[in-house]
């Protein structure tokens, strides 16, 4: 037991102690304020104005937001990405989960090599990735076309309107499978070895263990990765923008909502409307995320 210090000292010390957490939080909130809150506030302000080449800037209230509701180009972009996400997210996360479980179960020679190899695409900047895939996708001189020609088969066109979403999905999957796999693998490693032992004693097969023990324990992690993926999908920008340089006939300036907001703000000079589009997109993402969490939390009560 330590003796109580004299009262004045205690008061001083407790003041400092009370201030400590705030001091520790300060750097975070300072950066959060400067880089998140302030730009958001500025964008919100912008979204309430309309800038015109003739007539200047006028306050328009919610007009920009009302305009987004009937903007076919915005909703077509959202629809594009809805389609994209419905196929790409399950595929990507399914692959990541499979790889993680296979790695964890130790059924693999050259385990580290595989782990690094599948994570490596994530380390490749998306600019480089798009250039590499752009070459592979080349409709006349690309290797797939050359191979198809050599075999006398019809050449696939990866850059056509009907295939482009899948071609981009393929790039994104290639980029992010490893990233998600590492998250799952870490979560699997955190599952106590006792459970594995107990399951083995009970005579469970690897498959049974994966399905009835690992998957349910992994569920919160899977939930988080799905949320990340939904968020990332609806904000898709880099990959389609870079593919646009190769297939400008197929990828329009409003192919994804973010590309649309970007072109509105730059070549369109409509910063106010671009800001409104960004907030609406943010709202769509938040809405889908909340809906998903609600559905998933109901789902969680049912055993997998």
Q: Which residues bind other proteins (CB under 8 A)?
A: 52-55, 134-135, 138-142, 160-161, 245-254, 263, 266-271
Question: What's the min distance (Å) between Cβ of 25 and other proteins?
Answer: 30
Residue tagged 């070549």 (tokens): 267
Nearer to other proteins, 108 or 132 (CB): 132
Nearer to other proteins, 208 or 266 (CB): 266
Question: What's the min distance (Å) between Cβ of 285 and other proteins?
Answer: 25
Question: What's the min distance (Å) between Cβ of 256 and other proteins?
Answer: 14
Nearer to other proteins, 135 or 294 (CB): 135
The counts of H helices and E strands in the chain are 14, 2
Question: What's the min distance (Å) between Cβ of 66 and other proteins?
Answer: 14
- Give the Cα separation of 91 and 71 in Å (integer): 31
CA-based nearest residue to 254, from 273, 240, 243, 272: 240
CA-based nearest residue to 122, from 185, 168, 178: 178
Strands 56-59 and 49-52: antiparallel
DSSP of 40-82? HHHHHHHTTEEEETTTEEEE-TTHHHHHHHT-HHHHHHHHHHH
Question: What's the min distance (Å) between Cβ of 268 and other proteins?
Answer: 6
Structure tokens at 125: 């900047």
Nearer to other proteins, 101 or 159 (CB): 159
Residue tagged 């003041």 (tokens): 15
Nearer to other proteins, 170 or 253 (CB): 253
């Amino acid at each position: 037991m330590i003796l109580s210090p004299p009262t004045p000292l205690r008061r001083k010390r407790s003041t400092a102690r009370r201030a400590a957490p705030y001091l520790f939080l300060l750097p975070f909130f300072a950066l959060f304020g400067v880089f998140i809150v302030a730009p958001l506030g500025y964008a919100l302000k912008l979204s309430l104005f309309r800038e015109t080449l003739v007539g200047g800037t006028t306050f328009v209230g919610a007009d920009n937001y009302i305009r987004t509701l009937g903007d076919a180009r915005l909703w077509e972009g959202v629809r594009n990405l809805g389609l994209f996400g419905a196929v790409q997210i399950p595929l990507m996360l399914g692959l990541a989960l499979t790889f993680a479980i296979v790695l964890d179960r130790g059924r693999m020679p050259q385990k580290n090599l595989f782990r690094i190899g599948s994570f490596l695409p994530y380390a490749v900047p998306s600019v480089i990735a798009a250039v590499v895939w752009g070459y592979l996708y080349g409709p006349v001189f690309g290797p797939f076309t050359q191979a198809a020609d050599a075999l006398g088969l019809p050449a696939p066109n990866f850059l056509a309107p009907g295939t482009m979403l899948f071609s981009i999905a393929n790039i994104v999957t290639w980029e992010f499978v490893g990233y998600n796999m590492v998250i799952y693998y870490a979560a699997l490693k955190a599952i106590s070895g006792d459970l594995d032992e107990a399951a083995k004693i009970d005579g469970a097969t690897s498959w049974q263990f994966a399905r009835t023990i690992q998957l349910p324990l992994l569920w919160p992690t899977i939930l988080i990765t799905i949320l990340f993926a939904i968020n990332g999908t609806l904000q898709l920008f880099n990959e389609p923008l870079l593919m646009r340089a190769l297939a400008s006939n197929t990828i329009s300036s409003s192919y994804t909502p973010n590309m649309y907001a970007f072109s509105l703000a730059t070549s369109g000079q409509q910063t106010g409307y671009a800001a409104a589009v960004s907030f609406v997109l943010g709202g769509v993402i938040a809405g889908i995320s909340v809906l998903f969490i609600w559905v998933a939390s109901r789902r969680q009560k049912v055993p997998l």
